[in-house]
Amino acid sequence: MSNLTMSSLFMSKISQHNHEDASDRIGWDREQMAQKAAQDIPDGAYVNLGIGIPEKVARYVPEGREVIYHTENGLLGMGPTPEDDEIDFELINAGKKPVSAIAGAAYFHHADSFAMIRGKHIDVCVLGAMQVSAKGDLANWSTGAVDAIPAVGGAMDLVAGVKTIFVITQHTTKQGEPKLIEHCSYPLTGRGVVSRIYTDLAVIKVTERGLEVVELAPGVDFDYVQQRTGCELLRP
């Protein structure tokens, strides 16, 4: 199946959902954040998409690029959500939702699936975040609260093994607290693992000198982003 067909299939499932985020708010909406990340996925890449906004990235990979999606429960060549009459509850993704398999897909057991991840065979992984530090540390599995039920899934394996980690996240929490900060206060998922961050306000690259703004959302200036960030940002 060509990537063009793939993209349009992913597209057809979501056209009705495109009106969320319509608003008076400033910056990119979630679809646009996913679109920004998708632009940076190269042709021929093997890609793992996390649950939530990262899942949307598949819809926006530019035409002309063929991308193979890996889901860590044991499928390479994951296709879009099937029609209701084609759902098989033994064909699911890591979020335990029904998916399809493209022509040319492969199934495998968990140790092989995580060998793909831990053996550095997957090119790009897109994840959500609770916090990212100035050094690219990621916290996305636990707030460390005493009464929380800790659950990690495959996040620590993905950040340790995948060659390039993209993070898609709102720039601040719902309470307006910065999520990009000097040091993560939540328990880490991995140290120094994040390459790029796509927020509603900016695209940011993790460099040895700190977080560098690569692109600002329309109507957003550098100072506006800096005020909402818990560490010093570098200008493009």
Partner 1 sequence: MIDKRIASCRDAVADIFDGATVMIGGFGEAGSPIELIHALIDHGARNLTVINNNTGSGHVGLAALIENGQVGKMICSFPRTANSTVFPDLYRAGKIELELVPQGTLAERIRAGGAGIPAFYTATSVGTPLADGKKHEMFDGQEFVQERCLTADFALIKSLNADRYGNLIYNKTARNFAPIMAMAAKCTIVQTQECVEAGDIDPEVVVTPGIFVNRIVTVENPAQESKLVNAGVTYP
Interface mask toward partner 1 for 89-118; x: CB under 8 A: xxxx---x----x-----xxxxx-xx--xx
Q: How many beta carbons lie within 10 A of that of residue 13, not counting itself?
A: 13
Binding residue count for partner 1, defined by CB under 8 A:
39
Interface mask toward partner 1 for 176-215; x: CB under 8 A: -----------xxxxx------------------------
* Minimum distance from residue 120 beta carbon to partner 1 (Å): 10
Q: Residue 50 in contact with residue 138, Cβ under 8 Å? A: no
Question: Which residues have CB under 8 Å from 134's CB, separation 6+?
Answer: 180, 181, 182, 183, 210, 211, 231, 232
Q: Applying CB under 8 A, which of residues 75, 125, 165, 204 lies at the interface with partner 1?
A: 75
The rounded distance, in Å, linking the Cα atoms of 140 and 109 is 25
Segments in the chain forming alpha helices (H): 3-12, 30-39, 110-118, 155-161, 222-227
Give whichever of 42 and 153 is closer to partner 1, judged by the CB atom.
153
b/e map of 43-72 (b: 16 or more CB within 10 Å)? Answer: eebbbbbbeebbbbbbbbbeeebebbbbbb
Annotated active-site residue 31? The verdict is no
* Minimum distance from residue 81 beta carbon to partner 1 (Å): 14
By CB under 8 A, is residue 147 in contact with partner 1?
Answer: yes
* Minimum distance from residue 137 beta carbon to partner 1 (Å): 8
Q: Which residue stretch of 26-34, 157-165, 204-212, 214-222 sits at the interface with partner 1 (rule: CB under 8 A)?
A: 157-165
* Minimum distance from residue 220 beta carbon to partner 1 (Å): 32
Q: Residue 36 in contact with residue 198, Cβ under 8 Å? A: yes
Give whichever of 89 and 223 is closer to partner 1, judged by the CB atom.
89
Indicate which residue of 20, 55, 72, 232 is catalytic.
72
Cα four-point dihedral sign 24, 25, 26, 27:
negative
By CB under 8 A, is residue 127 in contact with partner 1?
Answer: no
Amino acid residing at 125: C
* Residues engaged in binding partner 1 (CB under 8 A): 71-75, 88-92, 96, 101, 107-111, 113-114, 117-118, 137, 147, 149-157, 160-161, 187-191
Query: Which residues are known to be catalytic?
Result: 72
